[in-house]
A and B are shown apart, each in its own frame.
Chain A
């Protein structure tokens, strides 16, 4: 298993290098550059602009700049922002806890709602209650998250005055953004839990457990659920990663000072180093989360662990 993990981490290196190349070159295609943002309205002459450009190393061709960037990158230096002159890593780490907190809160909301709902729906299969749950899940999946956020703000903060409409602070500030981010995920996870439970509920060993006199509650929660968990964890894990990446809209709607906002602001000021650095860091973190999810299977499912032990190749 350790071998597998190391192999996966090694495979991530070329992917991350590729991502840096891709993002750096796409950013270079943008009209105008960071100099026009820095110079702003101060009517500089062409010579002064050229001088400024040279002082940032922007007079060199994009290939040379990328190679220089990579040289520093391989030493672990992600560069400094053109605008704020702060190291990229430091800026990222300042904003990342907020994004992480939001994502964790939303995944908690998701798990608390969707797993019981999915189990309930599977147990009541074909009834009106099941259909209501399915329709709700489908609606949740189809709602654009940023719009849901706006609607929640209208209802809970502008009309009922229960919760703040944005910003970071106490636990009250997290509720609305976490609900907004979690809704799409809740919908998908409810459906996954339901279908996974339905698969398991058909198995003979549940009948055996019941025949042994195991209480029904234990049959469902222990015997059935623990076997239904694998697809649930896959989806939850990949959605955790997805939310970390897609947090930018929620952060915009709720004025949440996270990494998504940082990237969009840096994009607007053409801060190539900042954007590339943040995307590399985010993609790396997502890669690690997906790896952790894969390793988690082995912990849950002894069959997969046995495959690892035999040196099974994936």
Chain B
């Protein structure tokens, strides 16, 4: 690796006499290579990426890693409330279920809720945001006032109201968190679409007689992607916190599913005597949220050309 760098330095030094060639070499790099190089420089971003990859792996292969019927939901009173030991590294809960297995399986719930909720919010928010940014005037006014209304209610509170009205279930939880993340997506997409819509290539699309749908979705939106991608990643982090918060309040994934927030609400009952019930699910939430925050920050730095050297 070091050797290669030296070679590259030598090569670059040779080319220093011919600056045009060097700049050509850099210009030939594709945009995605450029972004990857920028992303790779950021140690935190790499840590985030690796952590997310591990978490996705756990979520996908949760069935292989643990036995759902025996370890995750199977009640085994004789094994209840064991403190962390060699057989149960994270201990067992009030019904004798292994906490390590439940935390591992819980990855599936948290990630799927985070992803689906944010996709719901993004699909609706980005569509309306792009429309609001492209058409100024009445459409924009209506969309933005509706966004203001939805955004005026604090999101945790709105989530609580929606879930308790629709009933506590995994899908309703995803829906509630998705709905509460719409305003942010509308605002961020509108702001970007507004500036992109004023550029010449959009004008030339119009001149070429493209339909407005085509201009919005194939010309304007692809040029708004960077902030949307960053927002999506960071929003997954907050959606995971929101999901576990609602489950903690008993308004989320129904028992006996090993959702981390729901596990914490059981742990709370034993907080005086068996704090290990509270410790591990919370750590899992924190690490997951941290991973997505690191990834999101890294993506923002890599995708924002203003920060590029």
Give A290's nearest chain B residue, CB to CB. Answer: B152
Question: Do B245 and A249 have beta carbons less than 8 Å apart?
Answer: yes
Q: Mark B151-180, 1 if CB is under 8 A from A, else 0.
A: 011111100111011110000000000000
- Point out the residue from A16, A147, A282 that lies within 8 Å of B278, measured CB to CB: A147
Residues of A within 8 A of B161 (CB): 23, 26-27, 267, 275, 279
A14 at the interface (CB under 8 A from B): yes
CB distance from B15 to the nearest CB of A (A): 30
Alpha-carbon distance A245/B281, docked complex (angstroms): 25
- Point out the residue from A16, A18, A138, A260 that lies within 8 Å of B293, measured CB to CB: A138
Question: Do A26 and B267 have beta carbons less than 8 Å apart?
Answer: no
B99 at the interface (CB under 8 A from A): no
CB contacts under 8 Å to B, within A121-156, are 138-139, 141-144, 146-148, 150-151, 153-154
Given contacts A29-B165, A154-B271, A249-B249, A144 and B286 within 8 Å (CB-CB): yes
Question: Do B150 and A22 have beta carbons less than 8 Å apart?
Answer: yes
Q: Main secondary structure on chain B at its contact with chain A?
A: helix
A31 at the interface (CB under 8 A from B): yes
B248 at the interface (CB under 8 A from A): yes
Alpha-carbon distance A30/B248, docked complex (angstroms): 20
Give B291's nearest chain A residue, CB to CB. Answer: A142
B103 at the interface (CB under 8 A from A): no
A167 at the interface (CB under 8 A from B): no
CB distance from B210 to the nearest CB of A (A): 33
Give B292's nearest chain A residue, CB to CB. Answer: A142
Given contacts A19-B149, A151-B278, A146 and B286 within 8 Å (CB-CB): no
Give A267's nearest chain B residue, CB to CB. Answer: B164
Question: Do A18 and B272 have beta carbons less than 8 Å apart?
Answer: no
Residues of A within 8 A of B164 (CB): 30, 267-268
A162 at the interface (CB under 8 A from B): no
Residues of B within 8 A of A246 (CB): 154-157
B196 at the interface (CB under 8 A from A): no
CB distance from B1 to the nearest CB of A (A): 24
User: Considering the complex of A and B, which 7 residue pairs feature the smallest CB-CB distances, nearest first?
Assistant: A245-B154, A147-B282, A18-B149, A142-B290, A142-B289, A30-B165, A246-B156
